[in-house]
Structure 1
Amino acid sequence: MKLFMIAAPASGSGKTMITCGMLKLLKEKGVAAFKCGPDYIDPMFHRKVLGVDSENLDTYLQTPEQIAAILSGHEEAYGLIEGVMGLYDGLGGIKEEGSSYHLAKMFHIPILLVLDARGMGRTMISILKGICAEDRMHLISGIILNRTSKSFYELMKPLIEEEVGIPVCGYLPVLPDLKIESRHLGLQLPDEIQLLQLQLDQLAEEMRDRINFLPYAKEPVLGKIIATKNSTGGKPLTLAVARDEAFCFYYKQNLKELEQKNIKPVEFSPLHDSSLPKCDGLLLGGGYPELYAKALSENRAMCDSIQSAIERGLPSMAECGGFMYLHRFLRDMDGTEYPMVGAIDGTVFNTGKLCRFGYVEISDRNNRFGTVKGHEFHYYDSTNNGEDAVAKKPVGKRTWPCMHIAKNHIWGFPHLYYPSCPELVDYFVEQMEQYHEKFVSLF
């Protein structure tokens, strides 16, 4: 697979739109999509374009061997990685680890740098010189000027190539009808944007003759790869996975880690279904439950079904949005309180700002499993966050209590990355096995 990365000096430069346009153009040739960092939403746009899952590559959450295994598992002709934030922005905004550049450096991946050129002249040369000066491995292979006119592109291209020493491989003009709006957690979800496929088709056509990117793709240097071991024997256990408009944030590798333990995911909708499917465990992922609070609250049949199952001992994991859903109440910005499942005696409420944003390391106080890596990204907080684990920032000394962890549940705001702690998966699967033997096998 020939691989390249789309990166930029900062968020908001147009990485996602250009990535989606390129994926459209490469679809017939065979292409795999990847997102650098822990983001859930950008991969949803990749998935809408390709009709297949996009995968996260994260040098903080994953080991080099795990990333190499993901990349080597693809047989497509091309692989396209969308970068995160600014090219060199890693842990805490000050370290290289976790940045787009760290990933590119690890596997010798060529970088196409997108520069938002609107409102700039020669200043863009100074910006590009500064960015390229930090590129010790000379991975920046091409430059794309976004939001500029054809005439100005033709004027600047030879100057940039002469003074910066990097080829300028294309440009895009300002396209006012082709944009993705943002909200507090990032971009709008793909399903919320009307005529998205038509917009992306138009974008691809705009890019077809303006950006020459294929010559820059090349095979990555993967190094050591760890082979994954699949569980053998035994009847699969069933995991009910919430997936609908309100709950849609899942890492493919998390579900794959569970499937390798003989766990079969079965999707259900807390919004539209009236009860849980027959299952041995429950997974409530993140999403936007606050946007659907009224509908979730009014579906009392589902709330009661989940509450009854948890009281019966059904093993469950809930992260961020799923954690919010399990509370007794969800309080909106206007003060309206919506009754939720009620498994957690507390209220979640909008703080108006990001809470505990960024990467974290979670350690269980009772040592049921080791330390698991994850991240938090939410505007809501809880009157009952739990105190069964300790969260620690990977940069600095900040720690705080978090999570509700017991024999049959793991609940909290952090999004966890399961492959970073196999003991966590083993612990949860063991609880599912015990529940199956005690309850499900009797019927």
Structure 2
Amino acid sequence: MKAPRLIMAAPRSGSGKTVLTISLMTALLKMGLKVSAFKCGPDYIDPMYHKKILGIDSRNLDLFFTDEETTRGLFLRNNTSGISVIEGVMGLYDGLGGISENASTYHLAKTLKAPVILVLDTKGMGTSVVAEAAGFISMDEEKLIRGIILNNMNSGIFPGIKELIENKLKVPVLGHFPKQKECDISSRYLGLSLPDEISNLKEKTNKAAEEFSKTVDINKLIEIANNAEEINSSFYFPEKQKTSTRIAVARDEAFNFYYRDNLDLLENLGAELVFFSPVHDKKLPKNIGGLLLGGGYPEFCARELSENKSMINSIKAAIGNGLPFWAECGGFIYLHEELETKDGNFKLCGIIKGRCIQTEKLIRFGYITLTEIKTKGHEFHYFDSDSNGDFCTAEKPMSQKQWKCCHNINGGLQGYPHLYYSSNIEYARKIVDTCRNYKEI
């Protein structure tokens, strides 16, 4: 399959990949191209920016979660776009444990045979940027770096730096991107601010895209994407089955961390997903066979969640009647008796007998495999619980470190880990089967 594509990568996080990626996507859309978006790694927030710009879902590609053949298959599945733009994660070569290339952006580029556009943040630099570019190019054994964009570069110095890089390194410099004050994206402890929290995001992105179109050779980027080698995969994503159960899925400003491929997989296996808001709705949807509470920022809506007693009582009654339910990270926090934040203490669902407390550092951060269910995922949270559960064992991939986690109530799983269902499709099938067996639609 041809699938024109390119990867936007950088030497490190904070280099401006996201702003350049959404600016490129916007510019391509304005040119009339059909664009698809992907994110390397387990990130939830960057795909939200992609969706906000494109109006379609962005999907994750992660070589810890899935092997190379599966990853190629997930990329190619239903991919009929004129160009696929893939945003990298961290630094180009940063993989598992920070000491391996495995699961890095470069590993993904090799797996997809995708050309890489290297974004270099030149703030506070001049000729030294040539040395940085040289180092990254020297490690590119597959010769996948096909172009360079110089971010935060003054237009006056750009022609001279471009000439130096191209003469010394023989890699084309496709343009530069002056600092975009209006399109700066703020960060907090779980990453970038959510796109819905930024006023006039589309207007700001349109302005950034206009600048991008002036200072970067987009036609050359399209040419590079079109010249990507053909790839294929034998991976089989389950075909759409007849709907056989309804699963309520929490989705609002408190709960919004979901992998699109996870939701697709549940739907293809026979689930009708019914979205609802624990913040705003008064009760669960009717005629459901299961409940899914994803991650997010319940701490920012703690007062509203606590005061919505009608929803809490609806959830407690349903679970008391045996409703199967799954909860990850933020959803797991919501199930506790109490949540302690910097703004106070809040009474919540009380399904998990314990309390969650905000800490000053990341707790159990990174990729994991849950050995009992043979499913991969990751943890990334600043809150901890005094009732994490002991149903599963979480194992880190690059060390012998492991710990107990997760509850198993009503046949579901409740804990901090975020799971990626395509790492074990049979576990996703078990979720749908459990919900189907609880209540037929």
Corresponding residue SS for 1:223: coil
Q: CA deviation at 1:420?
A: 0.8
| Matched ranges for 1:291-302 at <5 A | 291-302=300-311
The aligned length equals: 431
Q: What is the CA–CA distance in structure 2 between the aligned matches of 1:168 and 1:319, rounded to whole Å?
A: 43
Match of 1:312 in 2: 321
Q: Does the alignment pair 1:250 with 2:258?
A: yes
Amino acid corresponding to residue 405 of structure 2 in structure 1: C
Q: CA deviation at 1:6?
A: 0.3
Q: CA deviation at 1:250?
A: 0.3
Q: What is the CA–CA distance in structure 1 between the aligned matches of 2:231 and 2:263, rounded to whole Å?
A: 24
1:238 to 232, 239, 246: 246
| Matched ranges for 1:116-135 at <5 A | 116-135=121-140
Q: Does the alignment pair 1:227 with 2:236?
A: yes
Q: Is the 8 A contact 1:3 1:220 kept in 2?
A: no
Amino acid corresponding to residue 400 of structure 2 in structure 1: K
Match of 2:299 in 1: 290
Q: What is the CA–CA distance in structure 1 between the aligned matches of 2:431 and 2:263, rounded to whole Å?
A: 13
Q: Is the 8 A contact 2:389 2:406 kept in 1?
A: yes
Match of 1:327 in 2: 336
1:22 to 18, 21, 24: 24
Q: What is the CA–CA distance in structure 2 between the aligned matches of 1:222 and 1:356, rounded to whole Å?
A: 36
Q: Is the 8 A contact 1:147 1:172 kept in 2?
A: yes
Gaps of 5+ in 1: 365-369
Q: What is the CA–CA distance in structure 2 between the aligned matches of 1:373 and 1:355, rounded to whole Å?
A: 18
Q: CA deviation at 1:260?
A: 1.4
Q: What is the CA–CA distance in structure 2 between the aligned matches of 1:232 and 1:427, rounded to whole Å?
A: 15
Q: What is the CA–CA distance in structure 1 between the aligned matches of 2:422 and 2:312, rounded to whole Å?
A: 30
Q: Does the alignment pair 1:53 with 2:61?
A: no
Match of 1:170 in 2: 175
Q: What is the CA–CA distance in structure 1 between the aligned matches of 2:402 and 2:179, rounded to whole Å?
A: 44
TM-score (normalizing by structure 1): 0.95
1:360 to 353, 356, 368: 368
Match of 2:378 in 1: 375
| Matched ranges for 1:409-424 at <5 A | 409-424=412-427
1:138 to 139, 143, 149: 143
Indicate how the Cα distance of structure 1 residues 199 and 231 shifts in structure 2: closer, same or farther if over 3 A, else same.
closer
Q: CA deviation at 1:422?
A: 2.2
Q: Does the alignment pair 1:199 with 2:201?
A: no
Output one character per residue of 1:32-85: Cα deviation in whole Å (capped at 9) or x when no partner. 000000000000000000000000011111222222222222111000000000
Q: What is the CA–CA distance in structure 2 between the aligned matches of 1:94 and 1:26, rounded to whole Å?
A: 35
Q: Is the 8 A contact 2:339 2:345 kept in 1?
A: yes
Deviates more, 1:426-435 or 1:383-392: 426-435
Q: What is the CA–CA distance in structure 2 between the aligned matches of 1:4 and 1:422, rounded to whole Å?
A: 28
Amino acid corresponding to residue 295 of structure 2 in structure 1: G
Q: Could you tell me the percent identity over the aligned residues?
A: 45
Q: CA deviation at 1:427?
A: 2.3
Match of 1:385 in 2: 388
Q: Is the 8 A contact 2:379 2:417 kept in 1?
A: yes
Q: What is the CA–CA distance in structure 2 between the aligned matches of 1:40 and 1:182, rounded to whole Å?
A: 14
Q: Does the alignment pair 1:4 with 2:12?
A: no
Match of 1:187 in 2: 192
Amino acid corresponding to residue 48 of structure 1 in structure 2: K
Q: Is the 8 A contact 2:73 2:232 kept in 1?
A: no
Q: Is the 8 A contact 1:3 1:79 kept in 2?
A: yes
Q: Is the 8 A contact 1:333 1:349 kept in 2?
A: no
User: Deviation above 6 Å: which 4+ runs of structure 1?
Assistant: none
Corresponding residue SS for 1:386: coil
Amino acid corresponding to residue 25 of structure 1 in structure 2: A
Amino acid corresponding to residue 378 of structure 1 in structure 2: H
Q: Does the alignment pair 1:102 with 2:107?
A: yes
Q: What is the CA–CA distance in structure 2 between the aligned matches of 1:216 and 1:415, rounded to whole Å?
A: 35
Q: Is the 8 A contact 1:360 1:391 kept in 2?
A: yes
Q: What is the CA–CA distance in structure 2 between the aligned matches of 1:372 and 1:227, rounded to whole Å?
A: 18
Match of 1:13 in 2: 15
TM-score (normalizing by structure 2): 0.95
Amino acid corresponding to residue 4 of structure 1 in structure 2: L
Match of 2:71 in 1: 67
Q: CA deviation at 1:231?
A: 5.6
Q: CA RMSD in A?
A: 1.2
Q: Is the 8 A contact 1:147 1:171 kept in 2?
A: yes
Q: What is the CA–CA distance in structure 1 between the aligned matches of 2:428 and 2:123, rounded to whole Å?
A: 48
Q: Is the 8 A contact 2:244 2:436 kept in 1?
A: no
2:42 to 38, 56, 72: 38
Q: What is the CA–CA distance in structure 1 between the aligned matches of 2:253 and 2:58, rounded to whole Å?
A: 18
Output one character per residue of 1:150-187: Cα deviation in whole Å (capped at 9) or x when no partner. 11111110001111221100001122222000010000
Match of 1:367 in 2: none
Q: What is the CA–CA distance in structure 1 between the aligned matches of 2:240 and 2:309, rounded to whole Å?
A: 37
Q: What is the CA–CA distance in structure 2 between the aligned matches of 1:337 and 1:222, rounded to whole Å?
A: 53
